[in-house]
Amino acid sequence: MTVRVVVGAQFGDEAKGKIADFLAASARYVVRSAGGPNTGHTVVLPEGPVVLHQLACGVLRHGVTGISGPGMVIQPFKFEEELNGLRERGLLRGEVLISDRAHVLLRLHELEDIWEDELRGRHRPEASLGTTKSGIGPAYADRAGRFGLRVGELSRPAVLRERLELLYATKGHLAGVPPIEELAGQLTEVGARLAPMVRTTEPLLWDVIARGENVLLEGAQSALLDVDFGTYPYVTSSHPTSAGALVGSGIPPTALDEVVGVAKAYCTRVGAGPFPTEDSGERGEYLRRVGGERGATTGRPRRCGWLDLVLLRYVARLNGLTSLAITKVDVLGGIGDVPVCTAYRMPDGTVVRDGPPTSADELASAEPVYDERPGWPEFHARRTERVRREGAAALPGELRRFLEFIEDETGVPVEYVGYGAHRDETVWLGPRTARRRPSALPAWSG
């Protein structure tokens, strides 16, 4: 039995969906533990690409149950659209369950999200966070403030009406709010349609673990966007860390076996916030073009730059990473030497290797210190097919040494490599990394 967590180890968009789908092949249950319709996990199947927003990737595999967990904020109408879209394409292969403890994201929250970001922009233009305007922050705020409505309450008309009346009392500053009777009726109808999938999921998972079946926790967004440990205030409103995944699924810490951190061989970020290794020149544009770096949810172009080992070391300790998955190595194939940030030089002249500044402003002022690593050959069709056929042994030697450098710098073994967009273009490095795995992470020097 294995309980794994997949965690984003950068600023998001690291191909977590691809790695989670790869690992879901050996899982019985996959739990999406946080977030809502603001994120998109892309899985490229033989039938074409699929972008999952509120469904766990397990629903794409026969014999696997995908759970939208208690830590999520679910927009029920968009959830239903996503579900029906998979059905129409014949791609809904697993079972779907929704935690009755997950909170409901409403049109009220979307309107409030827009209002809040406009308020920030009027106060100070650079204070705009660049959110997806999906209502995530306001929904989590109402959950924490105990104004929230939970999925299990959609089938209880009296409770639904009471919770809506309380919510409406707090939203008088918003324009365009739908009449409460209209929204209550719509929620009752969608709640009835979703009801067969709604369950109290944490006892189910406890029983599954006790029976020795594999469980995968699929995080949304990434550790550097955690509301406490990310680049605040340029963060999400939940905890996309390994600890957050446990809370967002109801699984106890003692059950956890592995934490897989996912990072690109370079780095990207969507929206505002500090990004020390951002490359605004031609090479950054090359990464954007060749890597197809546009948001799966918004279509916005991603900011592109280079692998940042200062932040990756921090994420490794914060999440207790037991292994790394390095993705999109094909994008860097053939570009020559690859810059990797190994330290920061701060304005006062100090050099930082481990403990990144807590303040977003201070992090933005950090000057990256680069180590130029030897590049590897292009991943042309013949090479890709050879890796698909022969596995890790067919990876270029220069790439293998690049991965070993990451292992040496972080103390975490690289166990998986993504070398293309398709489902089958991920390779497990096998016993080689198991032998390299340290008994403990190196001493922290921050």
Model confidence, pTM? 0.93
> Is the pLDDT assigned to residue 374 strictly greater than 50?
yes
The side-by-side arrangement of strands in the sheet containing 3-8 is 198-199, 95-99, 65-68, 29-32, 215-222, 3-8, 258-264, 323-327, 414-418, 426-428
Based on the fold, state whether residues 265 and 133 are members of the same structural domain.
Answer: no
Based on the fold, state whether residues 124 and 272 are members of the same structural domain.
Answer: no
Residue at 358 is within a domain: yes
- DSSP assignments along 156-189, one per residue: -HHHHHHHHHHHHHT-TT-SSPPPHHHHHHHHHH
Separation of alpha carbons 14 and 308, rounded Å:
13
Separation of alpha carbons 31 and 422, rounded Å:
22
Based on the fold, state whether residues 244 and 115 are members of the same structural domain.
Answer: no
User: What percentage of the chain reaches a pLDDT higher than 70?
Assistant: 93
Residue 439's pLDDT is: 42
Based on the fold, state whether residues 260 and 326 are members of the same structural domain.
Answer: yes
Query: Could you tell me which residues come within 8 angstroms of residue 156 by beta carbon, excluding any fewer than 6 positions away?
Result: none
Contact of 224 with 10, CB cutoff 8 Å: yes
Residue at 319 is within a domain: yes
* Parallel/antiparallel/unpaired status of strands 303-308 and 323-327: unpaired
Q: Mind listing the pLDDT tens digit for each residue in 196-246?
A: 999 999 999 999 999 999 999 998 889 999 999 999 999 999 999 999 999
DSSP assignment letter at 302: P
- Residue 249, SS3? coil
Domain extent, residue 414, equals: 3-60+210-436
Q: Mind listing the pLDDT tens digit for each residue in 21-39?
A: 999 999 999 999 999 998 8
395-406: b (≥16 Cβ within 10 Å) or e: bbeebbebbebb
Question: What is the residue whose two structure tokens read 């939970």?
Answer: 150
How high is the mean pLDDT of the chain?
93
User: What percentage of the chain reaches a pLDDT higher than 90?
Assistant: 87
The amino acid at residue 135 is G
Residue at 15 is within a domain: yes
- Domain final residue pick, 196, 225, 248: 196
CATH number at residue 191: 1.10.300.10
* Parallel/antiparallel/unpaired status of strands 351-352 and 338-345: antiparallel
Contact of 16 with 34, CB cutoff 8 Å: no
Based on the fold, state whether residues 137 and 226 are members of the same structural domain.
Answer: no
The arithmetic mean of pLDDT across residues 110-123, rounded, is 85
Based on the fold, state whether residues 145 and 233 are members of the same structural domain.
Answer: no
Residue 134's pLDDT is: 86
How sure is the predictor about 444, in pLDDT bands with cuts at 50, 70 and 90?
Answer: low
- Domain final residue pick, 148, 174, 196: 196
Cβ atoms within 10 Å, residue 334: 13
Based on the fold, state whether residues 412 and 300 are members of the same structural domain.
Answer: yes
Residue at 68 is within a domain: no
Based on the fold, state whether residues 13 and 159 are members of the same structural domain.
Answer: no
Residue at 445 is within a domain: no
The arithmetic mean of pLDDT across residues 87-109, rounded, is 97
Separation of alpha carbons 218 and 34, rounded Å:
9
DSSP assignment letter at 356: -
The arithmetic mean of pLDDT across residues 314-328, rounded, is 97
Contact of 153 with 163, CB cutoff 8 Å: yes
- Domain final residue pick, 150, 169, 196: 196
Domain count, the chain: 2
Residue at 40 is within a domain: yes
Q: Mind listing the pLDDT tens digit for each residue in 410-434?
A: 999 999 999 999 999 999 998 544 4
Separation of alpha carbons 2 and 209, rounded Å:
8
Catalytic residues: 13, 41
How sure is the predictor about 300, in pLDDT bands with cuts at 50, 70 and 90?
Answer: confident
Based on the fold, state whether residues 13 and 126 are members of the same structural domain.
Answer: no
CATH number at residue 223: 3.90.170.10
Based on the fold, state whether residues 191 and 215 are members of the same structural domain.
Answer: no
> Is the pLDDT assigned to residue 116 strictly greater than 80?
yes
Residue 437's pLDDT is: 44
Of residues 255 and 121, the one with the higher pLDDT is 255
Q: Mind listing the pLDDT tens digit for each residue in 271-280?
A: 889 999 999 9
Based on the fold, state whether residues 301 and 377 are members of the same structural domain.
Answer: yes
What CA–CA distances, in Å, run from 373 to 120, 192, 278, 396, 415?
Answer: 41, 57, 17, 14, 20
Based on the fold, state whether residues 113 and 42 are members of the same structural domain.
Answer: no
Cβ atoms within 10 Å, residue 381: 7
Residue at 150 is within a domain: yes
Comparing 139-143, 160-164, 165-169, 293-297, which segment has the lowest mean pLDDT?
293-297
Residue 432's pLDDT is: 46
The arithmetic mean of pLDDT across residues 285-293, rounded, is 95
> Is the pLDDT assigned to residue 166 strictly greater than 90?
yes
How sure is the predictor about 380, in pLDDT bands with cuts at 50, 70 and 90?
Answer: very high
Residue 364's pLDDT is: 96
Residue at 85 is within a domain: no
* DSSP run (H or E) holding 233: none
